[in-house]
Structures are given as C-alpha cells and as structure tokens.
Amino acid sequence: MIASHQALAAVAVAVVFAATSSCARLPPSLASQTVPTAPRSANLDQRYVTDVQPLLKTYCHSCHGGSSPAARLDLTAFDTTGRVISAFDVWERLHGRLDRREMPPRSAAQPTDAERRTITDWFAALRAHEAERNAGDPGVVLARRLSNAEYNYTVQDLTGVDIAPTKAFPVDPANEAGFDNSGETLAISPALLTKYIDAARNVANHIVFQPHGFSFAPYEVLTETDRDRFVVNRIMDFYRRQRTDLAGYFFALWRYENRSALDLKGASLASIATAGGVSLPYLQRLQQLLHDRKGAFGPIAGMQRRWDELPAASTRPSEATVRAATEALRDYVIGYRKKLAWTFDVPRARPLHIASEITAMHVNRQEVLHRRRLNPHVLLAAETADPTAKGYDADLVVPSEPAARAAAVASLEKFCDVIPDAFLVTERTSPWLAKNQTGRLLSAGFHSAMGYFRDDGPLYELLLDDGGRRELDGLWRELDVISNAPARQLAGFVWFERTDTNFMLSPEFNHLRAEDLDLASDVKFGELRRLYEAKVAASGATAETRRMTQQYFDELGAAIRATAQARAAAEPPHLEHLVAFAERAYRRPIEAAERDAVLAFYRQLRQSGLGHEDAVRDTLASVLVSPHVLYRVDVVRTAAQSRIGDHAVAPLTSDSLANRLSYFLWSSMPDAELMARAAAGDLHRPEILRAQVRRMLRDGRVSRLATEFGANWLGVRRFEEYNSVDRERFPAFTNDLRRAFFEEPVRFLTALIRENRPVTDLLFGDYTYVNRPLASHYGMPQPDGDAERWVRVDKAGGYQRGGLLPMAAFLTQSSPGQRTSPVKRGYWVARNVLGQHIPAPPPDVPAIPSDEADLGSLTLAQTMARHRADPNCASCHATFDFFGLAFEGYGPVGERRERDLGGRTVDPATEFPDGVRRSGVAGILEYVRASRQQDFVDNLSRRLVSYGLGRGVIPSDRRLLDQMQAALRANGYRFSGLVETLVTSPQFLMKRVP
Amino acid sequence: MTTILKAAQSRRTFLRGAGVTMLLPWLESIPAWGGTAAQGRGTLLPKRLAVIFMANGINPNNWWAKGSGESMELGPSLEPLLPFRQRLNFIGGLFNEAATNVGIHPGQTGNLLSGARLTRGPEIRGGISFDQVLANRLGESSVQPSLVLGCEQPTTGYHETNFSMAYGSHISWASATSPVPMEVYPSLAFDSLFENRGAQRTRSILDRVMEQAADLRRQASTSDQKKLDEYLTSVREIERRIDRVRESANQAGEGTRPGQPGFTLQRPDNGLPQDIREHMRLMADILALAFQTNKTSVATLLLCRDISGMFYPFLPVTEAHHLLSHNDTSKEFTLVNQYYTGQLAYLAQRLQSMAEGDGTVLDNSCLLFMSNMWSGSRHDSTRVPVLTLGNLGGTLQSGRVLDYYDRPADTRRLCSLYLSLMDRMGVELPSFGDADERLAGI
C-alpha cells in the first residue's frame, strides 16, 4: 500500500516538474474557460510551518520518521506544502484517519480536539485552495483499449450487423466509479489479445463479397449454404415487399374514381397509388382494361360488369364492404385467368433422362415465355362444344364464326397480357415430387441438384419502375457472383448425369470430375459440352432435343463466363472498400502511407498463397485488432499548449475530440457527420459542439449511453444474467420478464435523454415504460401489438410505479432470494441514487435468515430494529435503512404485496431522519424532494463526469460540477445541460501534456 | 519509476511462462523429442482420431466379422483389413436415432457425427459434430485444430425428402448452421498443414499490427506508451507462442526412431487428380502426415458423399456408386465396399509404418470408419456399420467383434460411442447429441 503511494508521489512530482518547463497560449475559444495560475497561498504555507508541522513533530514523527518509518510512511519528508500537494492521496488518508481518531494509535499520546482540527482544517483549506487553483485540470486520462461493450458497438457500426464479437470475453473490470471505460482498468494480455484475434477473424468471416464492394451478413459466410442463404433472402425480401394482390389495385382505383365523393379532390392516380403502396404503371394498365369497352369479351366484359357494380362512394359504404367487393373481383379475375393458362409437361426427350436438367430448364423457359399469353388449346368452339361433356366450361367457349372468334381471342389475349398467370414464381420442385415439398426458394426445380431460376417477368414488366428493375437485376446478378451459382450448377449437372442418369458413365467422360474447380473453365466446359452433345446426337435425339441441349449449355456457359468476369472485376473494388473500411475503423482520416500499408499487406498475403477472399478477410481482421482500432489514444495539438494550475495542457485534435464525444454519448465510433465536422476543424467551437451534442442526444444510439452509463451507475448492467431468483417460488420470473426488468430503466433513461427531459424525472416522473410481460407483472393494462413492443405508461403512480425507484430490476436485485432486504434497498438508494458514502460493515455481523418464512414471529422490519439497537451498527444504518423499509410494499421480485412470504402484513411506514413518519415510494420522494434533491443532482453530475472523462472525479473538478448544476437549474433540469457543460469544459477539450 | 518498470517486466515474464505451459502440455515434458523416445513415455504421446466416411451403406451379406484377435474371420467386404485383425474392432448395431424415420439419404448423413435433428427446407440447422467439439477443445495447441478432407465436392440442391443436399455433403459441422468447409484438393490440403493457414495466418496479422503499434507508440505520450506496451508485449508473446508450437510440431515431424527415416510426402500437384484412386491415396497420405507431424489430432475424411456420383471403371464396375448401392447384394457393390475398406487398410498401414515412442502412430490413433446406413438398397438407418482401427494410446482394446443390435435403444447410441472416444481423447462431457451415457463394453 505505502510503497505504491510513494511511487505515485514520485510520479506526481515528476509530472509537476515536467509541467513547469513549458507554457504556451491557448486558442481563443478556450481562453475564457482557463484559470490563470495563482501562486500557492502564502497563508497556507505559513500555517503549515507554524501550526501543523509542530503538531506532526509532536504526535507523529516518532513513529513515522527516522531510518525505518512505521508503515514506511515518513512524515518528516513533507517539509513543504508543495510536498504535501504532490502526495495528495497519502494526505487524504492521513486526514481521514486523524478525523476518525484512528491515528495516533490509542497507545500513543493523543492530540487535543483543537489540535486535531488545526491539522484537518488546514488540509481541508489546502485542498479547497488547490481545487480552485487547478480547476479545469483534465487530470490523468490514459490511453486505453475499447471496453468489450464499446468494441461490440463499434463493430456493429462498422459492419451494420450486430455480431457482438466480445460476448464470450471476460467481463471488463469496473473502476471506482463503477464504470468500465477507464485506462487504469482496461488492460490487455496475450490471452485477451488472442481472443481479439479470433473475434476479428470471426467478424471477417461475415464478409459477403459483392461486385462493387463487400458487406456483412449477420452470420458467417464461408460455405456455399451460407452464401446461398444470403443471396436468396435478399431477393425474397425484395419480392415480399412487392404488392401483387390485385384487390389492392382495384381498391386504389375505386378510391381514385370516387375521389370527389371521398373528399380526395386533389388526389391524382399517382398520389393514390403511393398512398395505397401499389405500382402506378400497373394501376394505369388496369384502369385502361376496365374502361376500354370496345370488343370486350369474356373475362374483360365480366370484370367491367363487376366493376360497375362496386358500391358507389356516394352511398357511403364501409371500407370493409369495398375491400370485400374488390377481393371478390380479384377472385373472379384470377379464377378466370387460371383456366386460360398454359401448362407444360416434361417432354420425353430421349436419350435425356426424365429428370434431366436440360428438359427441366426447357420447361422453365416455356413457362416464363407464356406467363402473359393465352393458351388457345383450352378454348371451345361454340358450334361444336357439348355443354354436357366432361370438362365443358362456358367461360372457355368462343364463337365459331372466324371474325367473331378472332375478336374474342384478341380480347382474351389482351386480358392474359395484363393479368399474368403469376407475377412471379419463387418455388419449384421436380414435377414428380409430392406437392408439399415447399421452401425451395428460387430453385430451378432440378431433381436433387442445385440450380437457381428467375421467374419474375410479369412483376418486372408490369409492376416495377426503372429503379425497382435496376435493383432486382442487381440482386440477381449478385446472386450469381456471390454464390457462384452457374459453376456450381455445372458441377451438380455432372454429378447427376453420373449418379442418376448414367449418361456420363461412358468412358469418354471419365476425366471430367464434378469435384474439379476447373470444370467451369472454357477448355473443360467446352470439352464437356462437345462430348455431351455428340453423345446426344449419336443416340438418335430429335432436333428439338438437340436444340434444348444446346440452349442449356449456351445459357449455362454464358452465365459461367459472366460470373467469372464479374468475380475477377470485383477484386479492385474490394480493395478500395478495404481501405475505406480501415479509415472508418481508425476513426480519423487515413494517411497515404497507411493506405499503402493496408494494400501491401493484402498483396503480401496473396503472394504467400492465399486466395483473394481469404486475403481480404485476413486484412480486415488485421484492421480490427490494430492498435488504431483497439485503442483510444488521445492526441493533442502541442503547439497550442498552455497551463491550468500546476499542469501543462493542450487541446485535443479534432479527431480525438470527435472520438471522445462519440464514445461518451454512443459508446462507439463517430458517425460520418461528426467525422466531417472534425475534418472541417471547427469542432472545438462551443456552439458547434453544442449543436453536435444535441443532435447526438436525439439519436437512437444514446440507448448505449443509457445502458453503459445508466445501468452501470444504477448497478444493474448485468441484470440480464441475474440468477438469484427462486423460480419455483416466483414462477412469473421468466427470462422474458428478466430481460424486461433490465430494459425498463434503460428505456426510461434513453427516452429521457432523447426527449431532453428533466433529470428529476428519474425520481419524480409519474410514468414508466413497459412491454407486455412487464405490464402484467405490474398489473397494468396490456399494450397492443407483440410482446416486444414497449409503450410509455403515464399516471404510473396509480400502479405504485413511475420513475426509477419502484422499478422491479432494483427491487429484485437487492432481494436475497426468498425475502426482501430493506438494508440493501436502502443502501442502493443512499449510495447509487444519492451518492452517499457508506463504509463497509464490520466482519462480525449476524446473518438474517434468507427466507422470510423462517423469521419466526417478527417481521423483517422488527428484526432489523433489533439489529440497529447495537450502537456500532446504528450510526450507519440509521442513514439508509429507512429508505429500504419504505419499500416493504414490494416483494422479492418487485411485485406489489400486502403480506410477506411468512403471511404477516407488511408495513411500509417508517420514521425518516427528519423525524417525520412516511410510507412507500411517495414517502421517499417527498423526503428526497425536501432534503436530498441536491445530493441526487450532485451524484448524477459526478458519475457523468467520471464516465464522460474516463477517470475518477478529482478535487479540481469542483467548479465544473458547480457549473453543470447551475446549467441544470437554469434550464429546468434538462439533461442536455449536464452534457453540454461537460463537453465544453477544459477537462473534456484538453489533455495534460507530460 | 523504476518500481513500475520492474513490476511490468516481472508480469511479462510470468505471462510468458504461463502461455507456454498452457499450450504445450506434452511437448514441454519431452525436451529432446525423438532422441528420448526409448525412455518409455508412451502415455505422454498425443492421441489422434480420424473419422473415415463412406456413404450409401454396405452389402449386408458380406459385411461381418467373427471371433477375435488373430483368429478373427472377416466377411468378403472386409478382406483388405485381414492384416489388421488385431487392431480392429468390428462394431455392429449402433444407430443414430435422429436419422431414423426422416426419409432416406441427407437426413441420415448430416447428423451422423452430431446426433442432432435436422431441419428441412431452406433453413440449414443441425448440430455441432463431435470431431469439431474435439477440435475446439484440443485445437489450440495444433497448427490446425482439425483437418476436414473430402474426395467429393459438396452440393446444395434439395433432395426429394426436402432436406438440403448440404446435409448429405458434410459430416463435420462447426455449428448447428454451418458445415466446416471441406478441402477436396490434395495440394491445398497439403499446404494447409504447412503454409498460410491457422497459426501462420495469425502470425502474419500479428506482424502487421506490431508495425502499427510501434508507430503509434512513437507518437504517444510517455504515459500512453505504457498502455501501448501492454499491447506490444502481448503481440510478442503470442508470436513467440506460435513459433514454439511450430517448432515443436516440426520437431515432432522428425519423431522417428534413430536411424529410421520418417514418412515424407512431396507437395501434390495443383488441380484435381483425374483418377479417384490417386485422389484417395493422396488424401490418406496427407492425413497420415498430419498425424505423424502432429499438425492436428482430429481429422475427418469423406471418401464419398451421400448419393455419391463416384464411379469405378477400374474395378471394373459400370454404375456410379449411388445407383449401384440400390443393388447392394451385387458382386459389384461388394467390390466397391472392398475398395473402401482397402483405403482404410492403406491409411492404417501408413500410420503403422510411422514409429513413435515405443510403438507407431497407429498405436496412438483411432481410425473410425463409418457409413450412414446399413443396407444400401433399404436405406436402413436402424444400424450403421462401424469399424475402429488403432489403440488410441493404449486406451482402446482391439481385436474384438461387438454387437449391440439386440440391445435397448439407449444402450446402442452412436453418440455414446462418441462420448467414450472423447473421454479417451481427454475431453469429458456429461452428454453429447442424444446420449448421456458412455457406450458399455467399448
């Protein structure tokens, strides 16, 4: 202990000496906030020599002096005030022990009370003087690695997916203030660095290589199935966003045509299409179809008639009525259309196998070609059709007279053209499989082998605008590039033609293996095709069979070549993207040499034999474990050096300031706007900083401030892992509820920050936030929607909730299993909420039974009263037990209760230190409002300073704390006052220069 | 100042010591590997396990064994293993419950080594395979945590049971959703043991960040430099650790008796061998080399995948593997089965030729040969063929014929066998897959 004090003292002295050797002018924006260096008070120096030192000599030096001082503390060494200041923390302890009469020891001569006060008052005065003289001192803020939480958020912001790479890391130790974001606690070791490397590689494994760069999937993308999942899901997501239900179109058209009656006079077809989320071009087509009465036949005539019969808006039909009518119209149209559709059977194309990919692809092509075409073979001629025959359908009857027939067919063709038999088909299976084989998304429908097939022509032609078409084309191109589907289809083809069809078992094919990655090369593919087509021709195939075989290879060959070219062309964009990624990850502009180094590393890996993708992955991993990413090292503009009190200081560079700000408010990297401000060089200007702070506090990312600052401050950061509830006794306590307990204070604080509400709402706010499990735990009405939806509940006081104090997380975490603990609850209020310092209990405290049922005839309150009868305990417990006793109306999982688990009626009334008897949370709040609100505000300010600066609060922060509180008072206690004052303080803007 | 520096140095020294002790449990105790093999430290030698997989079942008439040890009789399909009778366990009647009643093929394969239920349709979901559990636990001290090899490329279409064909293509699964990428090219599999992979790639990354840390340190203030020194020290320490592992692994490669040359293998040519015989032989050689040089202690080798398209004109057999398996009592299918047990015999012979300690690498290994079904024509997953070869460092008795077929389901689970084998590899789990009991009598 003492040895380390001496070491620190030595460091402090060294810092003082170094600091005095340089000084410079501050930039104008900071000048108003700095403190001129005042000479040390002559009066205090004098008092040390004349009043204090003689007392030390009399009462202390005999032990703490000489050649082997007691506890290795030599007080004779402190011959000047300067020496005292350089070992301030030694003196803090000395002051405390004197004040508590722990020193001198009982066995030694004791100073009088007045003498004791002479020393302690002098030190207190020195401390206050020093604090003011050094006000604004940035203190010691070490370089540090990112905390686990910060690393996770940073990777999330870099990649766009929540990979949480550090989730299996050891928990970061917290500092004295309870936060895990300061240099003294955030160390690294070989074991931890190994974990970072593994984690970085894991992140790199999420890369999806795209034609123009890369992105990240929420899962690792290493195997073909991973790639397939990614590309298929993206296309399916696009398809699912499209509105292909005709009823929606009919409804939109009805609204348009009834716009006057509906009071939509200014509405255009376009605005109604937008409002209804339907495609405008298709709406126009349907409109034409419904109103072009000339030559209307069959289904067109039928739908026009039904259209005319839709209820007019002037009759004021309900929306449900109109919806139902448009759905009926849709069903009519689709039902009719089905009858006119083409169907294709798999041709028997010898020598091709019945399940051949060539014939399957041929059928697929036919289907695509006929989605908007009439199948004339289903039509019946009026003259010859027999109404009693099987399969007769009046809908299919057309006139026999040639001109009339031609007109009818033209109308049917028009109908089929506008109403396709399907807008898109997303699943295919081989025709001879059971129909329940679902889920083969975008499949070509091959038997066993893989292959994708695009069948969305009508969607593309009829519904999409140019932007949609470009996006969809891009997605399909990317499907091939990312999954390398064409080359894989070829491998599957070869495999199938051996194992199921036997076709490629003749010896000329022996050297062509499905396993060969080179199979898709021009040479081998060309050879395979030549041999295959030759064998087909030699087996007496028809011309059509030969043609479909050629077409299969034509299309596959073209896709293979296009994909190979696109994959090769994608390499330079990937490297550009890699450099851009490194720049974002470094969180500052990348230097030319650094850019070159990133690329040089990639090339080195390629030369060592890695493929492109592995080399990109390893380069990315090297970025993610780079010290530029893993560490925050604040850099200063030393040219702008100046002094604050005893210390030389200099402003942070804009980049360092942007980082400090974003890690404070978002626990993560700066976003593009903040980086742009840093690049513009005006981030130090207070009005710019304030504007950025206000913007950032409105951003959803402040939920991380609520989590990392708020939940750590309130002691529930790890509540999601809290396992000390007996779930047999409290079956309501499920994992979902536990998660909700944790989220309640985080959501409360997040909303408070984003809405810039008064910090006093944390105590007095008559509202809280609940989801469905929490609402039922609290006995509140269930919110609508799914169980994960959170809503704000006002007038929460009616349910004995509102503000932080009665939140279940705190009440539960402070309850040891089968009972409540008023002591722990009181301790939590006093210490975490109000910032009261409470010494540790002595080691010989008798235990209270862990189950209320075992308390015998006494209530917990009565048991505790006995405990407090012991004067040794009473002096501390009297300062916080009452808070806990007032919470007795809440059980061990924070539930409202009238009786405890032993069946006794609970009484949440208790006497407060001001002599007033109060009850429940309302009683606590009344007392806090009257006597302790300043404690709460001071505590919150201190905690925020500590968190925001990444160091403990030091005496010279006093002025800043006062300013923060003044800002609160001046502005209705709104949260932003705290943050804006802090981030514009010299502590935040500057750094000590050693 | 000096106090602080000294403290940092001593912590550094401590960490260095801890790292090496942790990573080299057995090499540490054998300072001069190879030269002191005669001192009888056999129990300290590494144990290795390889799963050799052949899909599509066997000819039930010709897949049998009787008796024990030297006098064991083997059915025709097992004839190539006659020289290894004393090293062989013929295990009958084990099964994977999750592979029953789910339809044939992929649903019988993707969970062979995990015992997990598989999900149909586009979502791939099963369970981690036991070889990867071993790799995760044991892999830290190896150049490669595991070696996952195949002779037939994976595919991903849909089978008629609506299981993805990916299940039929992979037996090693890194997680419920991802198979371990399988190396099919002999040249690349060879490289993975010596170049560019795993530790060597980590080494490159470390070199790279070391440069950056040194640059950053130069720009940082004195107090910040101390924090960065933690980082630099950690980087150096891991580099040293990697170098030690590599050095030791290279020494292990010379782990032969004095005067006896070790097995060496030229790097195979790029590209894929056109002849499957050469392909399989090279993969077996690489696996043997990896074990001998202690580059890894866990391997799987998928000789052919489910619904295999392999064809064997040289046997001579005129149909491809899968179609032929539908005619599983044919003479041709027995020839195919024999060809595969011949591959196992080749690998065993390789390992047996590699001296290690008082014995051979085969003594310290277990080759677990399996298929995904019993009768190929009936796609029967009420039992699967299982053979073991080798003695796993004296922990696995051999020369036995064990039959579990008539026993209750809970006493004949494949996952029970895996638990028993993992125990012997030094990884003891309370349960795995669908089993929480060890296999009795193994």
- Is A13's pLDDT higher than 50? no
| Helices within A699-788 (DSSP H only) | 703-705, 712-713, 735-754, 761-764, 772-778
Mark yes or no for CB contact B209/A625 under 8 Å: yes
Mark yes or no for CB contact A143/B220 under 8 Å: yes
For B141-161, the pLDDT digits (tens) are: 777 889 999 999 888 888 888
Asked if B71 reaches chain A (Cβ–Cβ under 8 Å), the answer is: no
Compare CB distances from B124 to A144, A225, A614 and report the shortest one's residue.
Answer: A225
For A904-946, the pLDDT digits (tens) are: 888 899 999 899 999 999 999 999 999 999 999 999 999 999 9
- Collect all residues of chain B within an 8 Å Cβ-Cβ radius of residue A10: 1
Angle subtended at Cα A593 by Cα A590 and Cα A595, rounded to the nearest 5 degrees:
50
Mark yes or no for CB contact A627/B220 under 8 Å: no
For A147-175, the pLDDT digits (tens) are: 999 999 999 999 999 999 998 888 888 88
Mark yes or no for CB contact B122/A229 under 8 Å: yes
Specify the amino acid at residue A113.
Answer: D
A939 compared with B194, residue with greater pLDDT: A939
* Distance in angstroms between the alpha carbons of the first and the last residue of chain A: 25
Cα nearest neighbour of B119 on chain A: A439
Nearest Cα residue to A104 out of A66, A55, A68, A67: A55
- Collect all residues of chain A within an 8 Å Cβ-Cβ radius of residue B321: 499
- Collect all residues of chain A within an 8 Å Cβ-Cβ radius of residue B311: 498, 505, 510
Compare CB distances from B178 to A140, A143, A226 and report the shortest one's residue.
Answer: A226
- Collect all residues of chain A within an 8 Å Cβ-Cβ radius of residue B204: 601, 604-605, 608, 618, 622
| Helices within A60-217 (DSSP H only) | 81-86, 88-99, 113-133, 148-159, 190-204
- Collect all residues of chain A within an 8 Å Cβ-Cβ radius of residue B21: none
Asked if B132 reaches chain A (Cβ–Cβ under 8 Å), the answer is: no
Q: Which residues pair with A770 in a beta bridge?
A: A791
Compare CB distances from B156 to A145, A224, A505 and report the shortest one's residue.
Answer: A224
Name the average pLDDT for chain A. Answer: 89
- Is B253's pLDDT higher than 60? no
Q: What is the mean pLDDT of residues A81-101?
A: 83
Q: What is the mean pLDDT of residues A270-288?
A: 94
- Is A960's pLDDT higher than 50? yes
CA distance B124 to chain A (A): 8
Mark yes or no for CB contact A190/B19 under 8 Å: yes
**pTM of the entire structure?**
0.82
Q: What is the mean pLDDT of residues B262-288?
A: 87
CA distance B43 to chain A (A): 28
Contacts 24+ apart (CB under 8 A), A165-169: A165/A199, A165/A200, A165/A202, A165/A203, A166/A195, A166/A199, A168/A195, A169/A195, A169/A199
pLDDT at position B197: 58
Mark yes or no for CB contact B309/A499 under 8 Å: yes
Mark yes or no for CB contact B160/A192 under 8 Å: no
For A695-726, the pLDDT digits (tens) are: 999 999 999 999 999 999 999 998 998 888 88
Mark yes or no for CB contact A498/B309 under 8 Å: yes
Q: What is the mean pLDDT of residues B181-207?
A: 81
Angle subtended at Cα B221 by Cα B216 and Cα B226, rounded to the nearest 5 degrees:
80
Compare CB distances from B318 to A200, A220, A505 and report the shortest one's residue.
Answer: A505
- Is B23's pLDDT higher than 70? no
Count chain A–chain B contacts defined by CB atoms under 8 A: 213
pLDDT at position A12: 34
Q: Does the interface ipTM go beyond 0.90?
A: no
- Residue A549: pLDDT band with limits 50, 70, 90: very high
Q: Pseudo-torsion of CA B264, B270, B274, B276, nearest 10°?
A: 40
- Is A20's pLDDT higher than 70? no
- Optimal mutation site among B212, B277, B303, interface A, most CBs of chain A within 10 A: B212
Compare CB distances from A197 to B202, B219, B231 and report the shortest one's residue.
Answer: B202
- Collect all residues of chain A within an 8 Å Cβ-Cβ radius of residue B283: none
Asked if B199 reaches chain A (Cβ–Cβ under 8 Å), the answer is: no
A345 compared with A16, residue with greater pLDDT: A345
**Which tokens go with A577?**
């993207």
- Residue B258: pLDDT band with limits 50, 70, 90: very low
Mark yes or no for CB contact A515/B184 under 8 Å: yes
* Residue A248 and residue A276 in contact, taking contact as beta carbons nearer than 8 Å: yes
A540 compared with B2, residue with greater pLDDT: A540
Mark yes or no for CB contact A496/B318 under 8 Å: no
Asked if B308 reaches chain A (Cβ–Cβ under 8 Å), the answer is: yes
- Collect all residues of chain A within an 8 Å Cβ-Cβ radius of residue B320: 498-499, 502, 505
pLDDT at position B6: 38
- Collect all residues of chain A within an 8 Å Cβ-Cβ radius of residue B135: none
- Residue A729: pLDDT band with limits 50, 70, 90: confident
CA distance B78 to chain A (A): 25
Mark yes or no for CB contact B124/A192 under 8 Å: no
- Residue A97: pLDDT band with limits 50, 70, 90: confident
Mark yes or no for CB contact A191/B19 under 8 Å: yes
Compare CB distances from A440 to B19, B158, B219 and report the shortest one's residue.
Answer: B158
- HSE toward the beta carbon, residue A544, CA cutoff 13 A: 7
Asked if B234 reaches chain A (Cβ–Cβ under 8 Å), the answer is: yes
Which residue, chain included where needed, has tokens 């940082």?
Answer: B220
pLDDT at position A846: 64
- Is A761's pLDDT higher than 90? yes
Contacts of A48 (CB under 8 A, 6+ apart): A80, A81, A84, A122, A126
Cα nearest neighbour of A224 on chain B: B156
